[in-house]
Amino acid sequence: MAWWDTSLLPANDLREDIERKFSEAKAIIVIWTPECVGSRWVHSAAEHGDRDGKLINTRTPDFHPRRIPRSFNQTDAIELGGARRSLRR
């Protein structure tokens, strides 16, 4: 099952919902892109995944692996060919 944070409702306690989803997850997949590398929300998800041993780094073809923030680049990042096109549909 995949959980997208777009399903969160503003009335919910976001921190509680996010913490619960992270603890329930078997893996936290981060897709590194030029647009998200500076996002504190993406960094937060990566930190949770890394801390719990659940982080799977992926990247779009236009994002060089050396641009993954130093604290998360200890593992290989899987290149997702065509992922950006799929996400835009």
49: phi then psi, degrees, rounded to nearest 5: -60, -40
Helices (H) and strands (E) in the chain — how many of each?
Answer: 3, 3
Instruction: Kindly state whether residue 48 falls inside one of the protein's structural domains.
Output: yes
pLDDT > 50? residue 87: no
- Give the total number of structural domains in the chain: 1
Instruction: Kindly state whether residue 67 falls inside one of the protein's structural domains.
Output: no
Range of the domain at 41: 18-54
3-class secondary-structure state, position 7: helix
Instruction: Kindly state whether residue 49 falls inside one of the protein's structural domains.
Output: yes
Instruction: Kindly state whether residue 38 falls inside one of the protein's structural domains.
Output: yes
What mean pLDDT do residues 8-18 have?
Answer: 69
Instruction: Kindly state whether residue 2 falls inside one of the protein's structural domains.
Output: no
Considering only residues 46 and 7, tell me which one the structure prediction assigns the higher pLDDT.
46
Q: Which two tokens stand for residue 38?
A: 């500076």
pTM of this prediction exceeds 0.85: no
Beta-carbon contacts of residue 65 (< 8 Å; ≥ 6 apart): 59, 73, 76, 77
Residue with tokens 């919902």: 17
pLDDT in tens, 45-74: 899 898 999 988 888 888 888 888 887 766
CB 3 within 8 A of CB 15: no
